[in-house]
């Protein structure tokens, strides 16, 4: 269960094993998956933002639901000075255009831009995926039809850091509210460590006797939707100091599906089964 969201490593964006002693800087990644209709079938566009000592990088890949990479565009961190551009990717005798403008992008502490950017994926002059707030600029640059994107945000994985509290923001359904997610776990010098999860500063889950319950799952409600929370903090309690914990928030899981659900199943299978959105957090302790 150490790496239950393994599908991300198979989707064209390779990530170092979370249990290795690799540089923390290389692990500062955010990957988002979007389900789209492309080439006459359902496909997944994965967008990965990275940040390390060399700078910030961006990867846009397109996979089919058989988990085969159809094409990929990669802007390496040391080439990120190319903040504006476009590229034609050829797939199955078809051309897919990817355009981006990050020249005025504003970044927070993480690798994702906050505002002042766009990324556009266009097929047959139709906007397949549009990210960012510069929508007018994106349509003007690509000459795409001003029709709404058919993309559905299905999964996100993020590496988060802290000493006791680990936080991020997440949106658990299409057009839903953005929520602050905070995970608190103090394992240093405590005989009985506990785990607490808060949504918008409100406690929604608390696990005591964590040494006995270092892996598990529990249902919470967010925006009126049932969200199943899976956790694995074994490395924090019993592993090396460089180990990380893993948390997954999965929407729309029914009670009947919880028992046979395997931690090794990937997000594409979840989406095909109608299980909704998945948020996976790798939590690293800052020394």
Clarify whether residues 187 and 114 are in a common domain. Answer: no
Contact 182, 59 (CB under 8 A): no
Same domain for 27 and 135: yes
Q: 165 lies in which domain range?
A: 161-285
Instruction: Report H helices in the chain.
Output: 135-142, 234-238, 255-258, 267-272
Q: Is residue 240 part of a domain?
A: yes
Report yes or no on 245 lying in a domain.
yes
Would you say residue 18 lies in a domain?
yes
Give the pLDDT of residue 223.
84
Rounded to whole angstroms, the Cα distance separating 231 from 247 reads: 5
Query: What pLDDT is stored for residue 23 in this prediction?
Result: 43
Is the separation of the CB atoms in 58 and 48 below 8 Å?
Answer: yes
Tokens of 185: 């776990």
Task: Extract the tokens encoding 283.
Answer: 């939590």
Domain co-membership, 117 together with 53: yes
pLDDT of residue 81: 61
Q: How many CB atoms lie within 10 A of CB 192?
A: 9
The CA-CA-CA angle for residues 94, 98, 102, to 5°, reads 175
100 contacts 86 by C-beta, under 8 angstroms: yes
Domain boundary among the residues 150, 180, 214 is at 150
The verdict on residue 69 lying in a domain is: yes
Q: Per the domain annotation, does 244 fall within a domain?
A: yes
Count: domains in the chain? 2
Residues 41 and 61 in one domain: yes
Q: What radius of gyration do the chain's Cα atoms show?
A: 19
Q: Give pLDDT, residue 155.
A: 92
Residue 117 included in any domain: yes
- Are residue 12 and residue 128 in the same domain, yes or no? yes
Predicted TM-score (pTM) above 0.85: no
Looking at residue 134, what is its pLDDT? 96
Angle at CA 144, nearest 5°, toward 119 and 86? 40
Furthest-apart CA pair in the chain: how many Å? 62
Q: Within this chain, do residues 238 and 134 fall inside the same structural domain, yes or no?
A: no
Which three-class secondary structure string do you get for 67-132?
A: CCEEEEEEECHHHCCCCEEEEEEEECCEEEEEEEECCCCEECCCCCEEECCEEEEEECCEEEEEEE
Q: Could you tell me if 11 and 146 lie in one domain? A: yes
In a domain, 29, yes or no: yes
- 155 domain-assigned: no
Shared domain for 38 and 65, answered yes or no, is: yes
Same domain, 182 and 129: no
Antiparallel, parallel or unpaired: β 152-162 and 278-285: parallel
Same domain, 113 and 193: no
In this prediction, residue 68 carries a pLDDT of: 82
Last residue of some domain: 105, 124, 150? Answer: 150
The reply to whether 228 and 138 lie within a common domain is: no
Sheet containing 126-132: give its strands across.
Answer: 84-91, 94-101, 118-123, 126-132
Phi/psi of residue 130, nearest 5 degrees: -135, 120
**CB-based contacts of 57, cutoff 8 Å, min separation 6:** 49, 50, 51, 74, 75, 76, 77, 79, 80, 111
Below-50 pLDDT ranges, the chain: 1-26, 253-273
Residue 248 shares a structural domain with residue 273: yes
Of 118, 150, 182, the last residue of a domain is 150
């Amino acid at each position: 269960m150490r790496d239950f969201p393994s599908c991300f490593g198979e989707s064209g964006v390779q990530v170092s094993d979370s249990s290795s002693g690799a540089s923390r800087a290389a692990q500062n990644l955010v990957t988002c998956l979007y389900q789209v209709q492309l080439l006459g079938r359902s496909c997944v566009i994965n967008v990965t933002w990275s940040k390390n000592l060399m700078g910030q990088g961006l990867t846009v890949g397109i996979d089919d639901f058989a988990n085969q990479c159809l094409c990929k565009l990669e802007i390496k961190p040391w080439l990120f000075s190319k903040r504006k551009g476009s590229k034609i990717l050829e797939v199955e005798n078809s051309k897919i255009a990817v355009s981006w403008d990050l020249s005025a992008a504003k970044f927070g502490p993480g690798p994702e831009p906050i505002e002042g950017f766009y990324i556009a994926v266009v097929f047959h002059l139709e906007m397949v995926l549009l990210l960012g707030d510069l929508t007018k600029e994106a349509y003007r640059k690509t000459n795409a039809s001003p029709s709404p994107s058919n993309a559905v945000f299905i999964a996100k994985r993020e590496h988060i850091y802290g000493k006791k509290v680990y936080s991020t923001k997440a949106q658990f359904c299409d057009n839903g509210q953005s929520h602050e997610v905070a995970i608190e776990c103090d394992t240093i010098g405590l005989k009985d460590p506990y785990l607490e999860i808060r949504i918008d500063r409100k406690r929604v889950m608390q696990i005591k006797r964590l040494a006995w319950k270092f892996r598990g799952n529990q249902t919470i409600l967010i925006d009126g939707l049932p969200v199943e929370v899976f956790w694995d903090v074994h490395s924090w309690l019993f592993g090396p100091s460089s180990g990380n914990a893993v948390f997954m928030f999965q929407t729309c899981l029914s009670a009947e599906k919880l028992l046979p659900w395997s931690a090794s199943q990937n997000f594409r299978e979840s989406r095909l089964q109608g299980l909704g959105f998945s948020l996976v957090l790798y939590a690293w302790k800052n020394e």
